[in-house]
């Protein structure tokens, strides 16, 4: 379950995909706003069971957006490491677990800030392992990154309290487009387990 909380109100959705669509619709209204998507603890297997989520297009240069995981069912308490929100890959994964829209100067996906807070991204289900040694078989595993920003435009990107599991290549790259010379990227309190390459800073 996901809950998109906007200053002055909120809307409940039965899954993250619907919550993301509600956020895009709200951001399209324009103007300064703070939008927080609270995602209840549990395992989510992506759009139509694909093992991946694709976020819709949006553009609001004045909005602050946070995707926040680890919430209880009633969204009253939060423990992202104890009761995680887990985006889980399956053996058919053919995309990043969390993918932002392709962003170009003519068709920009944009917000003032973007925060990913308390989400567990688990690629284990799309990996292949040697039966004898249990070692990762790189050539037989999906090498898509776990998060793909695709030149999302923002002045502040923050990834915090997230867990990245068994990425067979990079967990993610910081490929964003800067809104100004003051753009900042913050990586805070994240855990990487068995990732071949944790992060490519770019």
Residue for token pair 């209840």: 40
pLDDT in tens, 96-154: 999 998 888 788 899 999 999 999 999 998 888 888 998 888 777 778 899 999 999 99
Examine the pLDDT at 7 and tell me if it is beyond 60: no
Q: How far is Cα 172 from Cα 128, in angstroms, rounded to an integer?
A: 20
Q: Which pLDDT belongs to residue 4? A: 47
**Cβ partners under 8 Å of residue 133, min gap 6:** none
pTM to 2 decimals? 0.90
| Spatial contact of 47 and 20, defined as CB atoms under 8 Å apart | no
Contacts of 170 (CB under 8 A, 6+ apart): 145, 195, 196, 197, 198, 199, 200
Q: What are the φ and ψ backbone dihedral angles of 126, each rounded to 5 degrees?
A: -105, 10
94/91 Cα distance (integer angstroms): 9
């Amino acid at each position: 379950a996901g809950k998109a909380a906007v200053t002055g109100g909120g809307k409940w959705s039965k899954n993250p995909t619907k919550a993301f669509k509600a956020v895009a619709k709200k951001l399209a209204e324009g103007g300064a706003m703070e939008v927080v998507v609270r995602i209840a603890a549990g395992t989510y297997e992506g759009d139509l069971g694909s093992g991946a989520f694709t976020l819709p297009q949006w553009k609001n240069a004045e909005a602050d957006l946070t995707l926040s995981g680890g919430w209880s069912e009633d969204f009253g308490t939060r423990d992202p490491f104890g009761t995680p929100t887990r985006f889980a890959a399956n053996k058919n994964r053919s995309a990043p677990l969390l993918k932002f829209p392709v962003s170009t100067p003519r068709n920009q996906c944009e917000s003032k800030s973007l925060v990913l807070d308390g989400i567990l991204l688990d690629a284990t289900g799309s990996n292949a392992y040697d039966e004898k040694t249990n070692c990762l078989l790189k050539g037989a595993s999906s090498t898509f990154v776990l998060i793909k920003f695709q030149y999302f435009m923002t002045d502040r990107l923050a990834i915090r309290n997230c867990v990245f599991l068994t990425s067979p290549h990079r967990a993610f790259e910081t490929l964003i487009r800067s809104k100004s010379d003051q753009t900042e990227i913050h990586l805070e309190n994240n855990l990487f387990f068995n990732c071949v390459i944790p992060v490519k800073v770019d």
